[in-house]
Amino acid sequence: MGAYYTGEYRNIFKEFGYKEEEIQKKIDQAYQTIFYGPDDERFYHEIGDDMAYFEDTGNHDARTEGMSYGMMMCVQYDWKKEFDRLWKFSKTYMWMEDGENSGYFAWSVQPDGTKNSNGPAPDGEEFFAMALFFASNRWGDGEGIYNYSKEARAILHECVHKGENGGSGYPMWEPSNKLIKFVPNVDFTDPSYHLPHFYELFALWANEEDGEFWKEAAKASREYLHKACHPVTGLAPEYAHYDGSPITWDNRDRYYSDSYRVPANIGADYAWFAADEWQRECADNIQKFFCETAEGKIDRVYQIDGTILDEKALHPVAIIATNAQASLAANDTKNSRECVDLFWNTPLRKGDRRYYDNCLYLFALLALSGNYRIWK
């Protein structure tokens, strides 16, 4: 049974012989580096007395992806001040009050809050909602925008019901199949957006009338990943049709940046709910591919059938981190050990592209140490 039912979270690092004090030290150092390290290593920046943003250091903007990731990191680490700063920036500068996308968050803004786009990205909304629910359960609801559970429910209401009864805009989940969209006004998805372990909790905590929708969404996303992940390698494309077949334009059919989150999500879903035994097979396939086929070439771009391309990955540390996180679902201890040891011995990334790699790095640290938890 998953941790939701048992309250017990596996510490894979400890299982593989790492000492608890060393594990905690590694987590603490990662938080300090990302939030309060030197200017060329951190990407958390405070503004004034009560706001802050996560910078995508490769693109020099703040994204709902990173803002919501930062909030999730903070609630897991019991950093309420930093959480509230990130949330106030998000609600002040990214949330849209009017227009077709009212009620959603602009996916990208400049560090001063100027919007780069009026379009939303659903992975931000789902992480905002989950982080807010956890904040409510861990710290209690406050006033105004700090009434965390109310804010989370409002976000999810828009995600499901936007455009109904002649209203403007589009929902973030396709009503006919309960699958999350890449962006609201398209008819395809991103496999790495599928977080059934979040939807199980949304079914409990979102507006009561949407409970059944979220239960169905969790089931639909688990079934969808069976189709989107290659049956031999376990690799998923960046974007895919609702039938699981890859989107072929702009090289989005490859195992590339967005795709790396899929093994991490499979590991997290199995750790929390253990609802789909296929996830163990898929995790084994992914780790087998990287340990046996791509050995020595873990920094490349791949076709989902396992073809290794002569092109360097933009985020190689993210590949290493998420391969390790798949161990939460995997059966094959040998390959899991190899993936976890490689991750343990890989430092946080430095340089302009550090943001995405190090976000996934920190989540993997939390998950593999038993510290990526459901706050009820």
3-state secondary structure labels for all residues of 47-111: ECCCEEEECECCCCEEEHHHHHHHHHHHHHHCCHHHHHHHHHHHHHHHECCCCCCCCCECCEECC
- What pLDDT sits at residue 304? 98
What residue ranges of the chain have pLDDT lower than 70?
none
- What pLDDT sits at residue 183? 98
User: How far from 285 is each of 36, 226, 350, CA to CA, in Å?
Assistant: 37, 12, 30
- Segments making up each domain of the chain, as ranges: 1-42+232-239+254-376, 44-228
In this structure, what are the phi and psi dihedrals at residue 46, rounded to the nearest 5 degrees? -90, 145
In this structure, what are the phi and psi dihedrals at residue 74, rounded to the nearest 5 degrees? -65, -45
Q: Which two tokens stand for residue 257?
A: 């940046």
Question: CB–CB of 180/228 below 8 Å?
Answer: no
Helix (H) / strand (E) containing 23: helix 20-36
Say what the pTM is: 0.98
The verdict on whether 65 is a catalytic residue reads yes
Residues 6+ apart with CB under 8 A from 215: 199, 200, 203
CA distance 256 to 342: 20
Helix (H) / strand (E) containing 359: helix 354-368
- What pLDDT sits at residue 37? 98
User: How far from 29 is each of 43, 186, 317, CA to CA, in Å?
Assistant: 14, 41, 17
User: How far from 349 is each of 5, 59, 76, 315, 359, CA to CA, in Å?
Assistant: 35, 16, 22, 9, 10
CA distance 203 to 218: 9
Q: Which two tokens stand for residue 218?
A: 């969790």
CA distance 78 to 179: 32
* Type of residue at 294: A
Q: Nearest-CA neighbor of 119 among 194, 184, 191, 187? A: 184
Q: Which two tokens stand for residue 10?
A: 């596996």
Cross-strand pairs, 51: 47
Q: How wide is the angle at C-alpha 196 spanned by C-alphas 195 and 202, nearest 5°?
A: 100
Indicate if 44-228 has the same CATH topology as 1-42+232-239+254-376.
yes
Q: Which two tokens stand for residue 46?
A: 């405070």
The verdict on whether 56 is a catalytic residue reads no
Does CATH number 2.40.30.110 belong to domain 1-42+232-239+254-376?
no
* Type of residue at 255: Y
Residue 39: count of CB within 10 angstroms of its CB: 7
Question: CB–CB of 283/299 below 8 Å?
Answer: no
61, 200, 238, 258: the active-site residue: 258
- What pLDDT sits at residue 138? 98
CA distance 176 to 59: 35
- What pLDDT sits at residue 295? 87
How far, rounded to the nearest angstrom, does the alpha carbon of residue 91 sit from its chain's CA centroid? 20
| Topology classification of domain 44-228 | Glycosyltransferase (1.50.10)
Q: Nearest-CA neighbor of 202 among 187, 221, 186? A: 221
